[in-house]
Structure 1
Amino acid sequence: MTFAIRNAAEGDIAEIAGIYRESVLNGVASYEIDPPALDEMQARFSAITSAGYPYIVATDEGGVILGYAYASAFRTRPAYRWLVEDSIYLSPQARGRGVGKALLVELVERCTAQGFRQMVAVIGGAHPASVAVHRAVGFEHGGLMKATGFKHGRWLDTIIMQRALGEGALSDPALDSFPGNRDA
């Protein structure tokens, strides 16, 4: 499958919302039960991008969005500012074709360039394909939380995976700076 990766734009939100809607309704990666409305997806996009986090899409040759990925704050307390959480969602036709891995590799590269030191994946439903993609990109198992979600009539486990970015914990960050393109 041929595809390109680029920054997501406001004009992409309807397609992004459609991909997320399908994932919410039919999958276990998200523990949301009802898909958010388009205006809510727009607000989420704006909050992530205005804070300086990367938000990217993979498109086919015709410009149709196959999937999207973004990094966001894991927690808002200041000591967590060097840690990001990744999120990746794919359209059904893009699954198993290398799109998710390519998005994750690009997201890791962008977050590393912005100065973040760690990335975590919180994998809903302990989804085997998501675990495999993260492992292939250098993530390690960080923990298992049993029966943390109830969706589609069953209890779901959550897997935490983590990988260092750049120097990781090998050096102290400049405490007067803030990663990304956000002001200190």
Structure 2
Amino acid sequence: MAAAPLLRDAVEADVPAIAALYAHQVEHGVATYEYGAPDPAEMRQRWRYLADRGFPYLVAELDGRFAGYAYAGPYRGRIGYQWTVEDTVYVQPDLHGRGVGHALLQALIERCTGMGFRQMVAVIGDGDNRASIALHERLGFRAVGVFRGLGRKHGRWLDTVQMQRPLGEGDRTPPSSTAVAWPD
């Protein structure tokens, strides 16, 4: 039986590994529409922005090494979206299929639910990313829309899949309070 990933909150010392994994995806993949990989200083600033506002930012380790990361952040900046978060999950390419993404996303869902968020949205930056779509479906997300040709990267137009999952009571009851400090 394969070992389960060890999950923990990201710390500043994780930023170089996070930046390297993200840089690989920027340069070679289409999960993000950034063209130039941010340097570790920029990734540190992005991590700090979310961590300082109380959003969960998790790291996975597998067999003693950095395996991936996941975080939840604001879905949109308007105050009326304050109970909705967007998830982000990245896994080392050589560790796909080992349960890292599932463990990270499951933990992120649980953490966000416990914080009082009511909806989680996945914005999948490539309509052909069957693995990410299947991962989200296994954890209760449903497709709510596809934006055709919304982005362009590596010489091709890309569809963007939007998926959604209720957290806790979802939209069945009013929220009791704001979950985190909302973006400025």
Aligned to 1:27: 29
Counterpart-to-counterpart distance in 1, 2:79 and 2:151: 28
Residues 71 and 84 of structure 1 are in contact (CA less than 8 Å); yes or no, is this contact kept in structure 2?
Answer: yes
Where does structure 1 differ by over 4 angstroms across 4 or more consecutive aligned residues? none
Write out per-residue CA displacement over residues 103-125 of structure 1, whole angstroms, 9 at most, x where no aligned residue. 00000000000000000000001
Aligned to 1:108: 109
Aligned pairs for 1:28-47 within 5 A:
28-47=30-49
Counterpart-to-counterpart distance in 1, 2:170 and 2:53: 21
Write out per-residue CA displacement over residues 48-95 of structure 1, whole angstroms, 9 at most, x where no aligned residue. 111100000110232x21100000001111110000000001111111
Aligned to 1:123: 124
Amino acid at match of 2:168: G
Aligned to 2:94: 93
Aligned to 2:161: 159
In the superposition, the TM-score normalised over structure 2's length comes to 0.94
How many percent of aligned residue pairs carry the same amino acid? 47
Counterpart-to-counterpart distance in 1, 2:14 and 2:117: 26
Write out per-residue CA displacement over residues 146-174 of structure 1, whole angstroms, 9 at most, x where no aligned residue. 00111111110000000000000110112
How many residues align? The count is 179
Aligned to 2:76: 75
Aligned to 1:178: 178
Q: Which range is displaced more, 90-99 or 133-142? A: 90-99
SS at match of 2:171: coil
Amino acid at match of 1:14: P
Q: CA RMSD in A?
A: 1.1
Q: Which 5+ residue runs of structure 1 have no aligned equivalent? A: none
Residues 66 and 93 of structure 1 are in contact (CA less than 8 Å); yes or no, is this contact kept in structure 2?
Answer: no
SS at match of 1:22: helix
In the superposition, the TM-score normalised over structure 1's length comes to 0.94
Q: Which 5+ residue runs of structure 2 have no aligned equivalent? A: none
Counterpart-to-counterpart distance in 2, 1:5 and 1:153: 36
